[in-house]
Chain A
Amino acid sequence: MNSFNKKAIFKLSLFPLIALAVILVTPLPLYFFLKFAYFYYMPLIVFLAGFAVIFIGAWSGFGAKGYVSNVIKAGMNFDADDLNYIYKQQLILTLIYAGIGILYMFIGYLLFLV
């Protein structure tokens, strides 16, 4: 009963990873057209995006508010165990987002070195 839903965690973790891929891939046409000015700022942009991901992970409820409201509307039981479970799931996602944020920063640093 208390096992974590890995599929849902994976789906929610995918958003910042896709965003990272988009940030890295979209400037490629500029590279092919020899417009290198953007690449001067790109490491900083990726680094700052890492901060944004960490903040999103920290502040987002990941839909918990809507879920709790649906549970109450549906008249389902909701007790302290449910609340703990929600907190744990949110904590895991916050940590994952923090990890992804650090990944952003690391990639930004690598780009800076390159």
Chain B
Amino acid sequence: MADAYSNKVLSIENLTVSFDTYKGTVHALRNVNLELYQGEILGILGESGSGKSTIAMSIMSLLAENARIEGNISYMGEDYITAETINKSRSKRGKKILDERLRNIRWKGISMVFQGAMNSFNPVYTIGKQIKEVYKIHTTLSDEEIHGKMLETLKYAGLNPTVLERYPHELSGGMKQRAVIAMALALEPSVVIADEPTTGLDVITQAEIISQLKELKRQNIIKTMIIISHDIGVISQLADNMAILYAGTIMEYGNSRDIYTNSKNPYTVKLLSSYPSIRNAKKYVEGIPGSLPDPIDPPKGCRFAPRCYLAKGRCTESEPELIPLGNGHFSACFFTDEIVSDKEAQNKDIRKAEIHDENIIETKELTKYFDLKSSIAGSLFSRDTKFVRAVDHINMEIKRGEILGVVGESGSGKTTFGRTLLKLYEPTSGSIIYKLEGKEIDVAKIGENKKESKETYMEFRKNIQMIFQDPYDSLNPKMTIFDIVSEPILAHKLTKPIDENVSLMQSDDGNEKTKERRLSPSEITDMVREAMIKANIKPPENYFYRYPHELSGGERQRVATARALVLKTKFIVADEPTSMLDVSSRAGFMNMLKSIRMDDKLSVLYISHDIASTYYLSDRIMVMYLGIAVELGKAEDVINRPLHPYTKALIKAVPTPSVDWNPGEIGIIGEIGNAIDVPKGCRFTKRCPYAVEECGVNPPPLRDDGYGHWYLCHFTQDQLNQFKDSHRERFKTTDEQLQ
């Protein structure tokens, strides 16, 4: 490693970080050793809570007051963080000395792109003022010189100079992230630390940011970088070397390609196999059972042992050291020779789902517009009457036992579509027809006939449920798990016949019906138990009296699923159910959903911006853009043979966890607009590199391949290919196009 890069820029030696809390000492990092050489990009990969951000914060010396540090960090050969300097800094004078020393290193030497660009800026100052602050604090440049430097930095980050005058809320997520990068590059630092630089961004923006970072590295504007992420796709694109972190210890270190193709640690093997990818998304992915150990009381020996498939007695007795395996590859495992890649698991057969012919739900010209003038405040303050066309004339159907995936960027109307299907939003027009046990319910019309509406509504609600995106917000923290899962049974006042053979009684309308009674507590418990077992919460009794805060994110989402299943639901809308889950629990959740669908013939509308996981789960995929469905077809067809230019760009932008992935020309211009001032013709016109004048004027026709795969476009595939060959320059994502 030292041969490949000339100078050592940063070195971390035996870094141990712990935090004193009232519950006990949290052991965040243990004996971390890392070296960063000039020109190197080091990737740090691991699950949430593994200590990735603590490393970054330690380097920047931004740890909380209750942190205790052992070991040292040196920059350009000078130890600037040691146990001694940190301990001295507890006195006023010591603190002043340390602050002065750090001021010379921070931003000039080491700068940081903080996690969550959305919150990295002060909302009351313009972007220009905030970038200027960096120069004002760290340099003696005049205002004019600073302005010149700022323009240069913005150019590097692919931003337009007008951004300087704008406030953070006026920028899109991608532009904000670029502005954060510009700020980090302001003083041309030797090392840039990027903490989850693409988390929370759309797949297209993510690909653009990755390309931008690659370009900056190529131009030597970013000299040396540490990139921290939980996404193997992002890390493998950028990093030369990779450190895999688990529960505060480095499990494996080496060249990215080596680690990806020849992992020598069971944790890395399992972590890599937890990611579905577009290339092999239909192959089985297996999560990692269990969760990260308690940082207050970590297990003895290897920290991964309780979750490891190779663990033996020795693993729980002593902790393995990082063993050199040659070529700068290190692994902390006693059994590196026994490790094989997880190809076996990936090749496991996936049970073929049984999809019935009859539809469970159909939408016809379903439309949902939001009008800001509908409220008093809206009508008082709005100068124009404009509608947000969140869902615009969508026609689709879902069959019994089928999973329909809905993909698209943020703002494409996926969530609104899902919520309108459930009548959580009142549809503006169109129909939603549910077919339940031979009965047809037009949900859009519920409420028109008050007499039957309540009964129909309850029947519909009982059979249709939703799993929400955020498992931390969707469960009532004051209720036990049993109460949460049993709540739908009580809300729907479920009954059962007293005796199935006898006793008919006269109902109000004169018809005879069976005498019914409320369910007994033991019957309710049985239903809750059954739903929890289906949702893979085992043994359910251990969870009955626990509260949501006692569970991990994955477990909470399973509880939310059990709650959705307890009424023997026929149809579920799952709105980004895995986006808040850790990588290791995602695969488990998706496999659980697949298995429930097979056992119960459940239909699912799976909404996600993660195309690989949607491909893994779905039978068919619908692609949405600015409120309309632009393409729909079998999952394999949509992913492998996308027809619409937007789908093509979307799929091209998905980072594949392999080192040789290069999105090249993504084939999309700018960012998704708003659904208010939509073009008369094709909604995608403004961003489409194929667009001609006609596209913006006339609505595109629906083109069907005859096998249920259709797309909305003015051009056939042959025309698109011809166009691409003759207009190659339009497909280059230049800096100008990104604006």
Contact = CB atoms under 8 A, between A and B. Distances in A.
Interface of A: 1-2, 5, 7-9, 11-12, 62-64, 66-68, 70-72, 74-76, 81-82, 85-86, 89, 93
Contact of B376 (A11, A76, A82, A85): A11
A93 B381 CA distance: 12
Given A74-B370, A75-B673, 9 more contacts: A2-B383, A63-B378, A64-B377, A67-B378, A67-B380, A76-B386, A76-B676, A82-B381, A93-B380
B388 interface: yes
B382 interface: yes
Contacts, number: 62
Interface in B363-402: 370, 372, 375-384, 386, 388
A9 B380 CA distance: 7
B382 to A, nearest CB: 7
Nearest to A86: B381
A89 to B, nearest CB: 5
A89 B378 CA distance: 12
Q: Interface extent on B, as a size class?
A: 20 to 34
A64 B379 CA distance: 11
B101 interface: no
Q: Which of B378, B382, B388 has the most CB of A within 10 A?
A: B382
| A-B pairs, 5 with minimum CB distance | A63-B377, A75-B674, A8-B380, A8-B379, A67-B377
A71 B375 CA distance: 13
Given A75-B411, A76-B674, A85 B379 contact: no
Nearest to A61: B377
A7 B386 contact: no
A12 B375 CA distance: 12
A8 B375 CA distance: 9
A81 B379 CA distance: 16
B714 to A, nearest CB: 26
A62 B379 CA distance: 11
A64 B384 contact: no
A1 B385 CA distance: 10
B372 A74 contact: yes
Contacts of B372: 67, 70-71, 74, 76
A74 B674 CA distance: 7
A82 B372 CA distance: 14
A70 to B, nearest CB: 6
A69 to B, nearest CB: 10
A63 B383 contact: no
A54 to B, nearest CB: 20
B376 A12 contact: yes
A57 B375 CA distance: 19
B727 interface: no
B25 to A, nearest CB: 42
B674 A5 contact: no
A60 B379 CA distance: 17
A7 B376 CA distance: 9
Q: Which of A62, A71, A81 has the most CB of B within 10 A?
A: A71
Nearest to B375: A63
Contact of A1 (B377, B381, B384, B673): B384
B428 to A, nearest CB: 15
A76 to B, nearest CB: 6
A66 B377 contact: yes
A97 to B, nearest CB: 13
B379 A5 contact: yes
